[in-house]
Structure 1
Amino acid sequence: MIVLGLTGSIGMGKSTTAKMFTEAGVPVHDSDETVHRLYAGNAVPLVEAAFPGTTVSGSVDRTELAGRVLGDVAALKKLEAIVHPLVRADADAFLAKNRTAGAPLVVLDIPLLFETGGRGRVDKVVVVTAPKEIQRARVLARPGMSEEKLASILAKQVPDAEKRKRADFVIDTGQGVDAARAAVKAIVSELVGG
């Protein structure tokens, strides 16, 4: 089974590209979706113990939690120490299930693949990219986003040019949905045929 890591900087179209792999019949493990699920399940008591008052009705209040950890390096590290192992365990279970099922190819959608040392967990890496102006427009269209937040997020991410250099495959989502879908199909075909 080939494990393909999918990554890209904020606003580059990673989530849309992940859906294209799913449409192409490739099982995808989505780290962001896993965190959402954990914030309504296994992570709740751990987050509440570490950050009292950040959960409501059995779920993590993401806005309250963000207010506690953003801009606080120690708090963010404390949160990552809770969440990252849970996401990793979920991904490991996903890999085991698909290996048993005989899947020839799976995708691990890992937003910070290079930043968190995730390269060793995958066989190949696909990076999604887009021109800076498209990225900026996509991100600033998100609720609650500002130029300052975007600058802060980008400062913590490996630069797009460096990600592209380290990638086995690059998909430019700035070329439109049809071009991205064709690139996904070409990658799947190259890795597993068909």
Structure 2
Amino acid sequence: MERRERAKHPLIIGLTGNIGSGKSTVARLLRAWGYKVLDADELARRARENKKEELKRLFPEAFRGEELDTRALGRLVFSDPERLKALEALLHPEIRRLLEEELKGLEGERVVFLEIPLLFEKGWEGRLDGVLLVKAPLELRLERVMARSGLSREEVLARERAQMPEEEKAGRADWVLENRGSLEELEENLRAILRAIEAKAEGAREGR
């Protein structure tokens, strides 16, 4: 899908979904169709690098020499809510700072998507013009993540439990994209949602 004439100020749409929902696949499609998509996971990687010394003090057992073992870090924090809170308190302000830097350079875009796994959990809605949730059945999501990551079922479920229930997110999202079938079905459903988002962008541009 081609983007139309760019508006001065972009419509900022959050792209989210629980683990294994397929939001990264949706992000790839959006980029292929010409949309700008910022990746919170990449911002998190940069934040971890910027806060490496603080991380080493908080989670020394997650380091192998000077290198952070992100899987070991995941095992630590997803089995201990207090340590998860400590990690988030350290990284989330830095992620927000990096994101604001990225957005400053995108005023010429018409629509910008932010791929944020913990969008609702961390209260990002107030910064956005809408939220697109990618949704899929739990068992399908578990299969996808185990196949691609090597994580055990319990490790994936621990990450799932750390997120808001999918149905609660569906009730709060502006658009819900079902991802339980073929790639062609996903593309068709995404294009329908994009027509609604483009209409919203046009309305904002014209001051409606």
TM-score (norm 1): 0.86
Q: Compute the displacement of 1:8 (Å).
A: 0.6
Distance 1:145-1:8 versus aligned 2 partners, 3 A rule: same
Q: Which among 124, 128, 135 is matched to residue 118 of structure 1? A: 124
Distance 1:95-1:49 versus aligned 2 partners, 3 A rule: same
Q: Compute the displacement of 1:70 (Å).
A: 3.2
8 Å contact kept, 1:3–1:105: yes
Identity fraction in percent:
36
Determine if the alignment matches structure 1 residue 93 to structure 2 residue 101.
yes
8 Å contact kept, 2:136–2:178: yes
8 Å contact kept, 1:91–1:108: no
Look up the match of 2:181: 175
Look up the match of 2:167: 161
Distance 1:67-1:125 versus aligned 2 partners, 3 A rule: closer
Look up the match of 2:90: 82
8 Å contact kept, 2:62–2:72: yes
> Counterparts of 1:117 and 1:53 in 2: how far apart (Å)?
30
> Counterparts of 1:132 and 1:69 in 2: how far apart (Å)?
22
Output one character per residue of 1:61-107: Cα deviation in whole Å (capped at 9) or x when no partner: 213433443312222111111111111111111111102xx111101
TM-score (norm 2): 0.81
Calculate the aligned-residue CA RMSD, in Å.
2.2
Look up the match of 1:11: 20
Number of aligned residues: 191
Distance 1:155-1:192 versus aligned 2 partners, 3 A rule: same
> Counterparts of 1:183 and 1:62 in 2: how far apart (Å)?
34
Q: Compute the displacement of 1:15 (Å).
A: 0.8
> Counterparts of 1:70 and 1:156 in 2: how far apart (Å)?
7
Look up the match of 2:38: 29
Look up the match of 1:128: 134
Look up the match of 2:73: 65
Q: Which amino acid aligns with 1:31?
A: A
Look up the match of 2:192: 186
8 Å contact kept, 1:44–1:55: no
Q: Compute the displacement of 1:58 (Å).
A: 5.0
Distance 1:52-1:166 versus aligned 2 partners, 3 A rule: same
Q: Which runs of 5+ in 1 are unaligned?
A: none
8 Å contact kept, 2:78–2:162: no
Q: Which amino acid aligns with 2:136?
A: A
8 Å contact kept, 1:24–1:185: no
> Counterparts of 2:185 and 2:71 in 1: how far apart (Å)?
36
